Amino acid sequence: MKFRFSGLLFLPIATLLLGGTLLSVSPPTDASPAVSDTVDTKPLRLLMVGLAQDMSRINTGLWHEDYDLIRQGARSIANHPKIPPNQIAKIKKTLGQEFQNFVRFDKVVHGTASELVTAAEARNWSGVLEKYTQIRDGCVGCHTAYRDQLQHVLGK
């Protein structure tokens, strides 16, 4: 399981079968051996702090043209912990039908991070830049759409 909120609730098998790509706008990625799932959970806000650190690492990699740093940051995003079930329940309740779209944002970020790992490993500079931009747009897209609503219900 990756960062799949719905999977934690009641669709674990369906989610596993569908993989991370059906609802995502990015094309399917080859499963990268560099990217494995984690079983950790973390409160969403802390998890986000970690994602921001990963993005910083990728940024530093971009300025120094350091593919290894980019790969590390991207892999960490792709492997990020899941949010705990009680928070998932709150998110689902708050967003209602929009929940699927929330999940979609997550899947895009997740899938694109895997693609960024691949691009960095291939030392494909334009691919790296493209994937980086897509990840950033995914982060900000979800924030713009849902952050205000969720901030209130998730509690600190």
In the numeric block, which tokens belong to residue 128? 């790296």
**What is the three-class DSSP state of 109?**
helix
Give Rg (Cα) of the chain: 15
Query: Between residue 67 and residue 86, which ones bind ligand HEC under the rule CB under 6 A?
Result: 77
Residues 6+ apart with CB under 8 A from 142: 102, 105, 106, 109
Site map (CB under 6 A) of ligand HEC, residues 33-72, x = contact: -----------xx--xx-xx--x-----------------
Site map (CB under 6 A) of ligand HEC, residues 83-102, x = contact: -------------------x
- Residue 127 has a CB neighbour count (10 Å cut-off) of 15
Residues of the shown chain interacting with ligand HEC in the complex, contacts defined by CB under 6 A? 44-45, 48-49, 51-52, 55, 77, 102, 105-106, 109, 135, 138-139, 142-143, 146-147, 150-151, 154
